[in-house]
Amino acid sequence: MPEIRLQRLRPDHAPALLAFERENRAFFAASIPDRGDDYFTHFAARHAALLAEQETGACHFHVLVAEDGEVLGRFNVVDVADGSAELGFRLAEKATGGGRATESVRQILKACARMYGLTTVRASATVTNTASRAVLTRTGFVPTGEEVTLSGKPGLRYVRELAETPSPTSPPA
């Protein structure tokens, strides 16, 4: 079985990440808000801005990468402040159904606690995105009861308290 690894976002991920977003755009738009044409037009600048933001510690971006370099998913920890952050993720259509999203979220949660010093992670998913809601539930997130709107679509908020204590280890390669 080919090796698939979660990696911290780097400059050299840009071409594979852009391909991932383009190839899965319609699939993503069926359940999560579309990024819009501007995202693709200005992808290089956006990628550079994400890397710069990651350097500040305000966000931690990760990609799920196959051994051939293909990006199969992205897992973003954003709005890091006061021990908490927001998690967002998306998986390529061809990579769904095999537990990859669940396992990757588990790895991200470990990194959040051990390496990023977080104690609380929040997430949101549209009501129609049953796959993401199932991943959140399987990884210990609980619904807050708060209803949100995600690009005009009704959604639900989730929260996950992290019990692990931070240690000085490195984030995913």
Could you read off the pLDDT tens digit of each residue along the chain, which spans 173 residues?
467 899 999 999 999 999 999 999 999 887 777 788 888 999 999 999 999 999 999 999 999 999 999 999 999 999 999 999 999 999 999 999 889 999 999 999 999 999 999 999 999 998 988 999 999 999 999 999 999 998 788 999 999 999 754 444 455 65
Q: CA 112, CA 120: separation in Å to the nearest integer?
A: 9
Domain that holds residue 21: 4-161
Determine, yes or no, domain membership for 13: yes
Does residue 23 sit within a domain? yes
Sign of CA dihedral 120, 123, 127, 132: negative
The kind and range of the H/E element at 8 are: strand 4-8
Tell me the whole-structure pTM to 2 decimals. Answer: 0.88
| 106 belongs to a structural domain | yes
- C-alpha span between 4 and 47 (Å, rounded): 22
> Which tokens hold the place of 26?
């319609």
Domain count, the chain: 1
Given this model, what pLDDT does residue 2 score? 60
pLDDT of residue 166: 46
Where residue 69 sits, what CATH number does that domain have?
3.40.630.30
Residue 171 included in any domain: no
